[in-house]
């Protein structure tokens, strides 16, 4: 999940039923991280802490349950395909 829409994809073409910007990391955390692989583990810990503090882990569980019934896409706007918000959420999914 990302608060910023990727430039390469129009919202019409994406045909999303739901865009959960509220599950994205804060702008402060995102900017601090800057997709620096050396900050990856600390970013994930901070991101998870933000979700827990905001009471959003239940929402993440709801997405996991939804994925059992239909396709769920975690989109991101980063060029780095290994160190981004969606990959962090993917890791959290295994923990909820």
> For 67-81, what is each residue's pLDDT tens digit?
899 888 777 778 888
Task: Kindly state whether residue 39 falls inside one of the protein's structural domains.
Answer: yes
What is the rounded CA–CA span in Å between residue 41 and residue 54?
A: 20
Q: Report pTM.
A: 0.82
Residues 30, 85: contact at Cβ < 8 Å?
yes
- Count: domains in the chain: 1
Binned at pLDDT 50, 70 and 90, residue 95 comes out as confident
Q: Which residue blocks in the chain are alpha helix, DSSP H?
A: 11-14, 27-33, 40-53, 57-67, 85-93
The reply to whether 33 falls in a domain is yes
Domain assignment of residue 27, given as a range: 11-93
Q: Is 2 a member of any domain?
A: no
Q: For 54, which DSSP code?
A: T
In a domain, 20, yes or no: yes
Give domain status of residue 79, yes or no.
Answer: yes
């Amino acid at each position: 999940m990302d608060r910023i829409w990727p430039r390469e994809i129009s919202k019409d073409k994406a045909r999303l039923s739901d865009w959960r910007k509220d599950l994205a990391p804060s702008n402060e955390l995102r900017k601090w991280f800057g997709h620096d692989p050396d900050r990856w583990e600390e970013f994930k810990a901070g991101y998870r802490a933000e979700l827990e503090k905001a009471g959003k882990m239940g929402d993440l569980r709801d997405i996991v349950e939804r994925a059992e019934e239909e396709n769920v896409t975690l989109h991101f706007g980063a060029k780095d395909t290994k160190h981004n918000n969606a990959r962090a959420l993917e890791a959290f999914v295994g923990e909820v």
